[in-house]
Structure 1
Amino acid sequence: MDDNLKKLSDEEEALLREFEEERSRARSSMNTDIREELKQELAEQVKESMEMEMKGGVEQQVKQAFESAVDIEVEKALSVEDMKKQIEAEVRKKIEDETRERLKKEMEENIRKEVEEREKGKKDELLKKIQAFKYLEDEMRQEQEKDAKEKEKLIEELKQKESALKETDPALREKLKEELKKELEEERLRKKEELLRKIETAKEQSKKEESNKPGFSQNEKVTILQIFEESQNVMNSILSARLSKKEVDSVFYDALLRALDRHPAVLKRVMYDKTGNPMPGGMLNTSRLIANTDMLEAKDEEQRAPKMFEALRAVFEERLAMIEKLTSADIRNKIALDTLNHMKKSMSRKGYGIKTESIFIKQIFPSVLPGAR
């Protein structure tokens, strides 16, 4: 090649050099373009990869932020709910405390008035009894004086008869003495029966006045409910000797539901305690029952109290009806009579008073066999 170049002219050499330079530049440019193209492709790939990574990172951040926000809101909601429950509990306790304090003052005042009125009534009744017995004593004294005079008269007659019979048969004389003695004893018994009859009349009049006293206090309602609950416990005990505990509980709960249908205003929620749990053994929440009665639309207590008695009677009737369904009419009547007899003795022993006893027996206790009352 060197030989050939030597043979080239200067112009040809210049052209050759120019060609070589151009080829070198072209190759250099091509290499540069290739590098730039590869660099561009690599840059695109890197960019795409980075965008994908960035996109995934953003989504993860969004997801985390969303979950965090949700958790915060849930915690806020739970905190608000807890706070609401706490406030409700505090408000309920405050209302209970205030109501308890108010009722305590009212009941103390009412009980004080009732005790004062009862003591005044006892004094008035005692005064009436004293006057009645004084009147009876006056009558007794008059009767005794009359008896003494009649006795003296009879003795005088006896003496006269004895004097006339001194010469007669001793057996006849003894017979006359016996007849006179018998006559005196009959007269004494007659006077005693008459006096006892007057005393009994005075007692009945006093009882009638007590039972006819107007008004019906809160304390009397509580007493009536205590008597009712005692009667249910007695009936439960008697029934447990014939049925299983499950059957007895079913009788008491189911009968209460039936009575609730008949008297919803008085008996609503009385089968639950203040925490919402069922009362044991089908017993009644007496505080709720009294509250329901007090909220009845009525002019006064004289109209509200009988509605409570009717509801209690319905509970009693439904329970006896279910007992009859599970056993027989005879067993139902026997359980009712045994319960009634037990309660009569209990009320008499505890001294509840004629008015309270009369309300329970006549207005609350269901009808039983003829002559049972």
Structure 2
Amino acid sequence: MSLSLTLPKAGGELYTYTPSQAAPFKVQKGKKFQKRTAFSAAHVVSDPLSDTDPLQNAQIDWKATMEYRHYLWELGFGVAEAMDTAQRGMGLSYENAKELISRSIKEADKVDGLIACGTGTDQLAPGQDVTLQQVEDAYREQCEFVEGEGGRIILMASRALAASAQSPEDYEKIYGNILRSVKQPVILHWLGDMFDPALKGYWGHEDIDQAMNVCLKIIRDNEDKVDGIKISLLDAQKEIDMRRLLPDTVRMYTGDDFNYPTLIKGDEQGYSHALLGIFDAIAPAASAALHALDEGKLEKYDEILEKTVPLSRHIFQKPTFAYKTGVVFMAYLNGHQSHFRMIGGAEGSRSIVHLADLFVMADDAGLLLEPEMAVKRMQLVLEQAGVRQEVKTL
């Protein structure tokens, strides 16, 4: 039995769509990847029944949120916790982030799951009155918290540092002081301003090449405290250029949600590991592809991931920072949460046409794992947007 539904196009035209009901991916559960380290930046599930202000005091459904992390670990991924995918600094408060980190580290320990946790300065309100010393103290507080919980650090880009730094030397000073103080190597995090406009001019330069030189200097000066760097610039060549300039001991973790298949696959001079938000939304496909890569089946790797790129580029289209909406919508369609609500009301950050197109692209990529359920859930969202549905069994 297959179900059709009525979807809208840009301009208001409606059309009938019937999902393909593609077979689900054959994933190897409980088996970690061998040739690449792959983190999925994981989203949080909001508590839809919490009677609090969703903008100022959003609540998390801890059971569903932890279950999703176990799902990612089972598929072979590491979890990058409390990152922007979890709406860190975009609805997720620092206090909630601390609880999220603490809970996730404990859950990871139960299953020997790989986890690394975001540390930043989001307990500070960015502004010209914030001093560099306050930025350093905030970083240090968060790093000490994560290491105190037994976690690894992802040193996130700081809005407060971007607002208060006056020169590249300020970045070198703050990062140098923090890196010298941590107990074990960290993953640095360079997030482009397309993901967060407040990070424009990070490393002291708006020019990417000049900014990269500053970042590379910091890495070389503190090589023993840097496991790797995640960059999210949506520019494959810039990532490759930087990857080739890194010290041999330092990894590149791609954060490029547009070009990840080729960057992870690599070339004759190297490859990128992964720390990606899109892996949350395409987890079964990404897991199957990375296991194919482990087995040397490059054609299968290409075949699987190439089908996911249109979906990823759609989810991460401008304004890129609204990508979390598409990630959570995928989790809703596939039954990982019972509702399409987000902290901060971010479910309203994309149009109904955007979500309809996402549905079709997810189907094309074989990522509607239970098509009948996905259709019924999509119909509910469409009805709420005023797109009347007439269920037709074909």
Q: Would the TM-score normalized by the shorter structure come out above 0.5?
A: no
Q: Which of these two proteins has the greater Rg computed from alpha carbons? A: 1
TM-score class, shorter-chain normalisation, is under 0.3
* TM-score, structure 1 as length reference: 0.21
* TM-score, structure 2 as length reference: 0.20
Which structure: greater strand fraction?
2
Which structure: greater helix fraction?
1
